[in-house]
Amino acid sequence: MSTSSPWAGACALALVGILALVFVRRTVVCPLPPGPPGLPLVGNVVGIDTEAPWLTYTEWAKTYGDLVYTQLLGKHIVIINSEKVAKDLLERRSKSYSDRPLLIWDGLQLGLLPYGDRWRLHRRSFHQAFRADSVARFAPLQQQKSFQLLRHLLEEPNQFSEHIFDIDRHERGLRV
């Protein structure tokens, strides 16, 4: 007769899942600089002096070099410990390391496109449309829409949210 409970199986399965997650998270595609070994899940949070973290980074630089990799609560962090390396990576090779996270809202990519030809096109279009001398052409439409909103609010003040959403829906229709 077996005395094992369903909880023992669930705990064993959870432990295997956590170990698999830790192993998968440690597998990184590109090679990383050397750094201190961390604890599972929390990384090197315990080893950093919260009052003066730069002192910890300086000690790591003596052991691991000017470029140190660490992991803090699942975030991969590379610490640059010398001005020479910082200038080399962030100024001379900035095109290789500079990028933006992709942010999509309402089907449009907003301001955080990765660097490249598309980013330059968006930037040029934005500057042409919103230069100080170009913004004046939007004034008649802004005035018309503000008068429309005020008229609707006077007629039906209890429908405030609907009036705001009507303007938003109308503007979405103009974009398509």
In order, the DSSP letters of 18-72 are HHHHHHHHH--SS--------BTTTBTSTTS-SS-HHHHHHHHHHHH-SEEEEEE
**78 and 32 both lie in a single domain:** yes
**150 and 82 both lie in a single domain:** no
pLDDT score, position 26:
55
**23 and 84 both lie in a single domain:** yes
pLDDT score, position 11:
73
In a domain, 61, yes or no: yes
> How many domains does one find in the chain?
2
**20 and 68 both lie in a single domain:** yes
In a domain, 120, yes or no: no
pLDDT score, position 176:
37
**Whole-prediction pTM:** 0.44
Residue 105 pairs in a beta bridge with: 108
Written as tens digits, the pLDDT of the chain (176 aa) is 455 677 777 777 777 777 666 665 555 567 888 888 877 778 788 778 888 888 888 888 888 888 888 888 878 888 888 889 888 888 787 766 666 655 555 555 556 677 778 878 888 887 887 788 877 888 888 888 888 888 888 988 888 888 777 765 655 554 43
In a domain, 124, yes or no: no
Residue 104 pairs in a beta bridge with: 109
pLDDT score, position 170:
56
**94 and 137 both lie in a single domain:** no
In a domain, 117, yes or no: no
Q: Find all residues with CB under 8 Å of 42, minimum gap 6, and list them.
A: 72, 73
In a domain, 106, yes or no: no
Among 39, 72, 98, give the residue marking a domain's end. Answer: 98
**88 and 140 both lie in a single domain:** no
Range of the domain at 80: 7-98
In a domain, 21, yes or no: yes
